[in-house]
A and B are shown apart, each in its own frame.
Chain A
């Protein structure tokens, strides 16, 4: 069962703050009559994954449902604030700043199962756990996050991050820290070639490869010997970012800052000892250039042109997909652009396209954009409302507009607050009328550096 047995004498500072804020706001809500009445149900709800999306759903559903048996399947004890990893890898944050115990966020009444999920039997509505036991469900929320497929790059593994000039901000918090060290070592070397890559699949925080390039450029420029360093960016497609204005902006800035851009190349192999990377030219007409079309089985095809180049530092962005046990289940997309790789949901209602009792949220879903914590903030109220409607047999009225946000760090100390959605060719959806998403600003940087982490924790607690 869940961990919380309230003992006021053992409150730490953070808990005290939460209780103080909660008590004050509860008083306001009570007095204004804004509290919604929870829905009574004895439904068994299983949430797979305790990351941003799973934790937000656990909190939201526990507030909204009375009598439901909610189970959260999450093996990890530590919650990682992953949006902070780029700042760790850039030397701005210490790694400790990104970690909190999961127990802080799990609400009372939710059964926390500290096991990994091993398989999903969607037909019989049950989930297999790592110890071989099964949990039955009436409703399932798939919030597993995604899987990093370093193995699709020959010679590469996450263990290599931090050695032989290899960095990868995605690997883990330890990987982000070792990436910082690898960049430090390259800069201390005083010269040399750095290669920054992008993946030929959808990735979480699609801005991260660009942010790592920009923050490293800041650090290289700070040495006063920028010209002694070569910087290259290898992109598998023609675009660098989904939002068209930002895509053009980043390309121009790379050109202005002396970054050599090469398009239609994907990282296919790496030789750590020799510090050489092999890139496969995938061609402008290749299926690879439309990153939503890439499948694991399509890597390493015959007859492709390959280029081998040396490096002093390389930032590796691995191909990504839904976790293997989700891919092996009947919940995976059967056709369309996400087939075989991502969860099959309606991108507006977030309900599974074939199993109406199943909802998806977060990185695991097949959607054109949306693998960010900011997307979770927008998706969580939609999944909550539609799941409650499904329980009551009502139509699903809540719709997700594809909102996502990327504080695009364009240097250490400045950023653009880029918010956009599915519609109108990924048009901007700014939250603040006084912050122009097309402008680099200090205010956007301060939001990234100081405000987004508190907002993230509020999302986890189901309050934002």
Chain B
């Protein structure tokens, strides 16, 4: 198969989900940028809730990724099936963490600001 052929197959396969991919990437980049501007650093900021939520989103893929393909977890049978599904779950968890972790930083910062404002009030 030619390089052009492989690219054509990939493009046709992704075309129906292009809007979703672009929207998801846009959300991720926007939240990361805003959080970084406000002092967020991924490896110094700690939030157990965001970590657990990202893990939960990733694990939820065990159900909905097969369902999205009109299948179900019970039919994930071969070693390659599991490698593919676990890879997808890991990717999903990482993507969710890249959104939820800075998002929690932004929300906490907002809460801290509100708390500080309240404490200053007489």
Contacts and interface: CB of A to CB of B under 8 A. Distances in A.
B121 interface: no
B2 interface: yes
Given A13-B18, A442-B71, A463-B2, A454 B9 contact: yes
Nearest to A24: B7
A458 B12 contact: yes
Given A22-B4, A24-B7, A463-B8, A14 B15 contact: yes
Interface string A433-464: 01110011111011001110111011001011
A454 B71 contact: no
A18 interface: yes
A22 B69 CA distance: 28
Interface string B6-24: 0111111101001000000
Given A14-B15, A445-B71, A414 B9 contact: no
Contacts of A464: 1-2, 5, 8-9
A453 B12 contact: yes
Contacts, number: 109
Interface string A20-31: 111011101100
Given A25-B7, A439-B78, A446 B12 contact: no
B43 interface: no
Contact of A450 (B4, B69, B72, B76): B69
A238 to B, nearest CB: 30
Contacts of B81: 441-443
A92 interface: yes
B5 to A, nearest CB: 4
B47 interface: no
Interface residues of B, number: 27
Secondary structure at the A interface, as helix, strand, loop or mixed, is: helix
A413 interface: yes
Contacts of A458: 5, 8-9, 12
Contact of A442 (B13, B18, B75): B75
A440 B5 contact: no
Contacts of B109: none
Contacts of A24: 7
Contacts of A411: 75
B77 interface: yes
A443 B9 contact: no
B91 to A, nearest CB: 15
Nearest to A21: B7
In order of increasing CB-CB distance, the 6 nearest A-B pairs are A25-B4, A413-B71, A454-B12, A463-B5, A21-B7, A464-B5
28 contacts: A13-B18, A17-B12, A21-B4, A24-B7, A25-B4, A25-B7, A25-B8, A28-B3, A413-B66, A413-B69, A413-B71, A414-B71, A414-B75, A414-B77, A436-B78, A440-B75, A440-B77, A441-B78, A442-B77, A442-B84, A442-B85, A445-B69, A445-B71, A446-B69, A446-B71, A454-B10, A458-B5, A463-B4
